[in-house]
Amino acid sequence: MELRFTDGQEAIRQKARQFAVEEITPLIPHMEEDGDSSFPAELAKRMAELDLMGIPIPKQWGGAGNDFISYIAAINEISRVSAAVGVILSVHTSVGTLPILYYGTEQQRIGYVSKLASGQWLGAFALTEPQAGSDAASIRTRAVKSGSQYVLNGTKMFITNAGAADLYITFAVTDPAQGPGGITAFLLERGAQGLTIGKKEKKMGLHGSNTCELTFEDVHIPASQRLGEEGQGFAIAKGSLDGGRIGIAAQSLGIAEAALQLLHSGLAIPPRNKQANSPIRGRIRSSADAVRVAALTAQVEAARLLVYRAAYMRQEGQPCTRESSAAKLFASDTAVEVAGAAVRWLGRAGYSKLEPAERLFRDAKVTQIYEGTNEIHRIVIGNQLLK
């Protein structure tokens, strides 16, 4: 078993790192100052130009033709600099593009995958509702068959990339009597009559990443826009979320690595050094603190192994529900713990918006919540063990 990147994977990782450091870093203050009011469209355009928007998509469909591990490595590196930009790319690819490649018709692949994989279009995944978050089977949005169309009514919330996205993979109930087996997936384009994009959520973190409510009022969708068979939507959602959770695990890993780097820098600063340009203006004062940082370092390394093991299994087509949940659970808990440690140990500098620790802590918290809360992932892992 080799625990290293191939030359091709390493090249993509380095390209993503260079892009993040050189092009995302200067825009972070703007994204933070504007909060959730601005979407970094210029960065999405640059990711398209760099072939980052379709890393694991075959070249015949407009993608870069690389593997899933390369994609996860890119999410990891970008999220070390900006978790907001990382989740834009993660949602676009894992749950906004790949489901069409896996479940779509030839015509749907021709019409949509190429636009998404090339970055010409941005994708989104509309599953969550006010009363249905981690419990996807509880959605209430309805799609009623009417001749050769479906009429869609309902509400979605906390939809990442909403407002900026050109295509929404949307889930609705077509047969309430069938429970989860009565959910169907649809491809809904921006600008569809009856689709309303709500105001952007004011979030604790991930500033720059759009999160909006969607309202459907008698939206007419041609049957040709159905993704997969009628009643297959729940299976599509579950299959897509396995990959999506690995993307969020990679995002969490990036946050944890960035916070850990701050702590490592703190250990290297002499106790009386007060350099104004130091990334850390506080200081870690004892060998006991060094032991704590060592423990966190081991925890981040463990998270990295979980993330890339899940990515490898996904890439090889192996069942990875338990592994993706474990990676997301452990990496997100690690991100919160390491970012929290950075804030605490830096003192007032860590609490200041002038330092990155404060942003890392705010960004980390949501990774325990979306793509299934960590409480849900403990249940998923437990159910897998009981099998």
What's the CA gap between 125 and 237, in Å, rounded?
9
Query: What pTM did the predictor assign?
Result: 0.92
What's the CA gap between 265 and 1, in Å, rounded?
32
Q: How many CB atoms lie within 10 A of CB 10?
A: 13
Name the amino acid, one letter, at 216: F
> 5: which 2 tokens?
């990147």
User: Is it the case that residue 38 has pLDDT exceeding 90?
Assistant: no
Q: Break the chain down into helix, strand, coil percent, rounded to 5.
A: 55, 15, 30
DSSP one-letter string for 134-177:
S-GGG---EEEEETTEEEEEEEEEEEETTTT-SEEEEEEES-GG
Mean pLDDT value of segment 331-347: 94
Q: What is the number of alpha carbons within 13 Å of residue 22 lying toward its C-beta?
A: 8
Q: Which residues does 375 contact at the CB level (< 8 Å), separation at least 6?
A: 134
Under 8 Å between Cβ of 249 and 310: yes
User: Is it the case that residue 198 has pLDDT exceeding 60?
Assistant: yes
Give the pLDDT of residue 354: 77
* End-to-end CA, the chain: 27
The answer to whether residue 355 is catalytic is no
Question: What is the pLDDT of the chain when averaged over all its residues?
Answer: 92
Q: How far is CA 303 from the centre of its chain?
A: 16
Confidence label for 268 from pLDDT (cuts 50, 70 and 90): low
Q: How many CB atoms lie within 10 A of CB 142?
A: 15
Under 8 Å between Cβ of 80 and 258: yes
DSSP 8-state symbol, 286: S
What's the CA gap between 112 and 83, in Å, rounded?
26
How do residues 141-172 score in pLDDT, each as one tens digit? 999 999 999 999 999 999 999 999 999 999 99
Exactly one of 77, 129, 323, 371 is catalytic; which is it? 371
In order of their start, the domains of the chain are: 7-117 (1.10.540.10), 123-231 (2.40.110.10), 235-386 (1.20.140.10)
Give the pLDDT of residue 277: 47
User: Is it the case that residue 17 has pLDDT exceeding 80?
Assistant: yes
How do residues 218-230 score in pLDDT, each as one tens digit? 999 999 999 999 9
What's the CA gap between 257 and 268, in Å, rounded?
17
Mean pLDDT value of segment 94-119: 96
Percent above pLDDT 70 for the chain: 94
Under 8 Å between Cβ of 310 and 324: yes
Give the pLDDT of residue 356: 93
User: Is it the case that residue 2 has pLDDT exceeding 80?
Assistant: no
> 61: which 2 tokens?
């469909």
Percent above pLDDT 90 for the chain: 82
Pairing state of beta strands 167-173 and 195-200? unpaired
Confidence label for 271 from pLDDT (cuts 50, 70 and 90): very low
